[in-house]
Amino acid sequence: MSPWERRRPAGSFPQPRIWSRRDAGAPRKKAALILLLTLPLAACGRVTWELVPGHPEAGKSPAAVRAARRLYDGAPPVIPHQALGAACVSCHNGEGVAVAGLGFAPPFPHAQTAGPARFTRCEQCHVYRMTEKVFHRNTFAGLAQDLRRGRRLYATAPPVIPHALFLREDCLACHGGPAAREAIRTTHPERIRCRQCHAVATTTAVFRPRS
């Protein structure tokens, strides 16, 4: 087991310190940083964190916890923290940002998607979790996110991509970098043309019957 596969309770991370006036900077940037360091992540609670390579001061929630933030497979996840008074991409940028005592903000995964990449209107799809109460009783049952790995045609074949590509065109946002979940981390992040080998699974039917 690698050092980054060990688990650490959420409460064991250092507590955020309060910034003083000596931590001066641009007023607006300073206000955003104070919020980042002092507001708790309300939805993280007592979850088990994964360690982040190169960032011992911050943790990341595991894949199962992130999947639970979606109403159904493919739905945009809820925002698991309070409003911080800063642009989402301030932390959810191309690589993600470690915030001591709070966690690791994963990177913005829509950088290669035409519409969202231009406008970054995050709250058009992602909403804050304001309550755990049922909004209105109904019989809807969402399909849970499938966390299994893509299937392989044979043992050494590249696995298929088990999800749609829309809004997920930037493979390394989830499969590479510090924020990647260890279960789906790529072993070859230097090979950036992912779909040269990995194809999207669009059907389970037989492509060509055997003769």
What's residue 2's pLDDT? Answer: 36
> Collapsing DSSP states into helix, strand and coil, what is residue 30?
helix
What's residue 186's pLDDT? Answer: 92
Q: What band does 211 get if pLDDT is binned at 50, 70 and 90?
A: low
Residue type, 14: P
- Measured CA to CA, the distance from residue 31 to residue 42 in angstroms comes to 20
- Which whole number is the average pLDDT over 105-121? 79
Residue 91 has pLDDT above 80, yes or no: yes
pTM over 0.85? The answer is no
**Tens digit of pLDDT for each residue in 148-194?**
778 898 999 999 998 888 888 899 999 998 888 888 889 999 998 99
- Asked which of 21-30, 60-69, 110-119 is least confident by mean pLDDT, the reply is 21-30
User: Any idea which residue has 């800063």 for tokens?
Assistant: 86
User: Any idea which residue has 């994964």 for tokens?
Assistant: 50
What's residue 23's pLDDT? Answer: 39
Separation of first and last alpha carbons in the chain: 46
Work out whether the CA dihedral 131, 132, 133, 134 comes out positive or negative: positive
- Asked which of 15-29, 90-104, 123-137, 175-189 is least confident by mean pLDDT, the reply is 15-29
What's residue 158's pLDDT? Answer: 93
What's residue 74's pLDDT? Answer: 85
**Tens digit of pLDDT for each residue in 32-87?**
433 333 333 333 445 578 888 888 878 888 888 888 899 888 899 999 888 888 88
> Collapsing DSSP states into helix, strand and coil, what is residue 52?
strand
- Measured CA to CA, the distance from residue 51 to residue 96 in angstroms comes to 14
- Measured CA to CA, the distance from residue 71 to residue 145 in angstroms comes to 9
Instruction: Tell which wins on pLDDT, 148 or 22.
Output: 148
What's residue 118's pLDDT? Answer: 61
DSSP sequence for 86-154: S-GGGTSSSS-EEETTTEEEPP-TTTTSHHHHHH--GGGT--B---SS-SS-----PPPP--SPPP-SS
- Which whole number is the average pLDDT over 91-109? 84
